[in-house]
Chain A
């Protein structure tokens, strides 16, 4: 057909922008000689599994995290409407440290002691694995910035997102990585800085009451913790992080229970994804 419309080539453009982003990340300037960095581009059905994980993380109606809820709603909408977009995953291993710089930023006086700690106690937090070498992590940040700039140069909407990154990490899309961040690439239907920033499709999904509840809970609070979930922890004592005390809610002993529940549900999706992958591979083998 001699005439093409954006419907014919939108996904090609998005995929090319994601590839440019990946190349920029892999070829980014580095502070260290030791960063192991990998990239993946995810699209189609595979994003569906990520969206399901975000739904679990966000909780019913965004009860656990409003900002993840927004990421979930947009991803769900794009999938349901078949809007072309892709997710560029960028991952890195941030420990052990090969540097021997003994810089101290990690809290250990030497890299050898840091690496010993990695061997003894490497484990996962909310976003990824630690301990981390700060210089390797900064190299990872440099790569993320370079990827974003490359995508931006194509005038394709994109946003760095921890939410889809954690989903990719949990689903094993970048095995062996300690940290994974996502760059959502596209859609490009309304221009740069529309879909993943102002999120026009969330129109009407929350009330003024909710906004004021959030403002009252989070606004300018000296003893407040992370405010991204709309109900920050309050630092009521030195070990505030072990017994959550939430603004407007007081102590939340059920928080640990909710976290456990979220992790179990996430585990189910992860298992389902593995089975789906096996079925896909089996189908491909059968076809050949």
Chain B
């Protein structure tokens, strides 16, 4: 049996291959070095319709941001639609179970008071259930968070990207997609997350981006071509079964159908 790999959707697109790489990248995120060896990373892979839904969320969320950020949301929503997979890497300890080491990264202090004092606690246990959904929605990522945990998250994302680089799959970690993943409640235990887009196309969909890219991208162009072409077929009514048009100079007729 032959296996064919083509680019366009009317053929077999290599989604399964990208999905395999996404799984390996998730594995790399899980096994990445962690501060003190403490677990915290979890992953979810989105494909197909889930990607389209993610892109829709990005376009809706874009309106909440200033113009320059809004553009990023719109342009990168296109990238989501052109991706084969999206690996979301989250850290389920960032908000609720800090490292407790007084590293200083969150507030420049020798203790963890900044994070603990900002949350409802009981004997040092952070109660995230006290944060209302309305409070959470005020900002994309409700903090303060343990920066060491988020440093670990960055290391996990970096490890995942090592796999995509080694296996030559185009990948891009993006803030805007991470916000959409957060808004959609993907990996609900993880209050911090990073979304990595992945695609196996003959042209990397994440670079060489035109201004107003949400209007001028390949999918729109293809769609517009379809729209224009389909209509232009009806400009001249032509019965291909009964005749073949001559050129203006009289040549080129189909003798059998004159």
Contact = CB atoms under 8 A, between A and B. Distances in A.
B187 interface: no
Contact of A148 (B33, B125, B140, B194): B33
Given A104-B143, A107-B118, A31 B194 contact: yes
B227 interface: no
B125 A235 contact: yes
Interface string A128-145: 111110110111111111
A94 B111 CA distance: 19
Interface string B57-73: 00000000110110000
Contacts of A105: 94, 139-145, 150, 192
B234 interface: no
A103 B153 contact: no
B149 to A, nearest CB: 9
Interface range on chain A (Cβ under 8 Å from partner): 35 or more
B112 interface: yes
B105 A142 contact: no
B80 interface: no
Interface string A214-247: 0000000011011110001101111111100000
A141 B156 CA distance: 8
Interface stretch (B2-10, B168-176, B212-220, B235-243): B168-176
A130 B153 contact: no
A144 B141 contact: no
A138 B157 contact: yes
Contacts of A29: 158, 161, 171-173
A141 B154 contact: yes
A126 B108 contact: no
B105 A237 contact: no
Contact of B103 (A122, A127, A237): A127
A106 B173 contact: no
B36 A121 contact: no
A109 interface: yes
A139 B154 contact: yes
Given A138-B154, A235-B124, A31 B144 contact: no
A138 B104 contact: no
Contact of A137 (B100, B105, B108, B172): B105
A135 B104 contact: no
29 contacts: A29-B158, A31-B175, A100-B66, A100-B69, A105-B139, A105-B143, A105-B144, A106-B106, A106-B144, A122-B108, A125-B108, A125-B111, A130-B147, A134-B147, A134-B192, A138-B153, A138-B157, A142-B154, A142-B155, A144-B154, A145-B157, A146-B162, A160-B155, A179-B105, A222-B125, A225-B124, A237-B123, A240-B123, A240-B124
